[in-house]
Amino acid sequence: MPFSHSVPSYRDDIDLAIDLGTANTRVLLRDQSLAFDEPSVCCFAGDRTGNRLLAVGFAAKEMQGRTFGDQHIVRPLRDGIVHDLDAGRELLKHAIRESLPRRRFGAPRALIGIPADATKAEYKALLTIAQDAGLRGVEIVAEPVAAALGCGISGNDPRGSLLIECGAGTTEIAVLASGRIALRKSLRGGGFALNTAFIDYMHSQHSFRIGDSTAEKLKLETLARINSQDDVVEVAGLNVERGRPERVNVPILGLSFILERYAIELSELVADILNDVSPAIYEDIVESGVVLTGGGAVAPILVTSIGCRTRLNVRVADDPLACVSKGLGEIAFRRH
């Protein structure tokens, strides 16, 4: 692969560590301080032949559901990968501008994370927007490697460990040893795919149309009340049959099936990867357990499902949302 699946060799000229995520973008400086943390969203006006940037980050997210005319919201990344080069460039420009002092000599260098299963074309797309955004030199590393360091797994430890990075764009399962990915599997889609599943469920089962932000709230509400099977949750949206906005009470029981399907699929992937590890590494994993990182790691159903399927101890990392960015900072500025 054209990018590193292990902790890269030492370089002392990195200025920024950038976690370019599907949902949020985070930037760390050399002192490991968090200089930027905003949604990975842009808002443009115009058609594809003449787009004009209106807002980026928090400002663009505030415009979701409130655009009109030729305005449109763009998420530069999909499934953890850059899919809109123009929006990706503008997002990175905004992040760099907000992170660094106004006056400096020379363009900055950066370390950026990418999903471990990224193709050569996807890697090149990331390099392209980084260079177009004004970065002088770019080093790219697989995100599970960064997440492992960010949650306290040593890059020098030869013992095997199993980490699951539950991102908004992709869910990655990685077996690591000595700071290198030995085995990996992934589910493209992640938390955003669950949002889409909630949107589809509301449309097919209740003839109700909801937006992305409502789907995200519905997902979180279902997670919080998944053990209350007799409860209902009130959902606001558009009644497709009547053609007007309404509210409807939806049973938690039906919504919980969406999360359970995802948890079962992920658990089966974990079981599959465990079947492929060596006996020595399997013993290491039995001893150390499974670590969940990323935004989706806070879902208790994942801990329960993976634990039941594998009979392993499963734990959520401290500050799971920040593991990738923290690990990138460790790699860029401390180099374990």
Asked if residue 150 lies in contact with residue 293, where contact means CB atoms within 8 angstroms, the answer is yes
Domain count, the chain: 3
30 lies in the same domain as 113: yes
Q: Note the pLDDT of residue 336.
A: 47
Domain of residue 216, CATH code = 3.90.640.10
* 307 and 175 share one domain: yes
Per-residue model confidence as pLDDT tens digits over 106-117: 889 999 999 999
Who contacts 3 (Cβ-Cβ below 8 Å, separation ≥6)? 114, 118, 123, 140, 141, 142
Give tens-digit pLDDT for 218-248.
Answer: 998 998 888 776 789 999 999 999 999 999 9
Mean of per-residue pLDDT scores for the chain: 92
Do 216 and 169 lie in one domain? The reply is no
Whole-number pLDDT of residue 118:
94
Domain interval for residue 329: 1-34+95-149+321-336
Chain centroid to Cα 175, Å, comes to 18
The bridge status of strand 290-293 relative to strand 314-316 is: parallel
CATH assignment of the domain containing 6: 3.30.420.40
Distance, CA of 181 to chain centre: 18
Q: Which residues of the chain have pLDDT under 50?
A: 1, 336
Residue 68 lies in a domain: no
State which amino acid sits at residue 150. Answer: G
The reply to whether 328 falls in a domain is yes
70 within domain boundaries? no
Strand ranges inside 104-169, DSSP E: 109-114, 137-142, 161-166
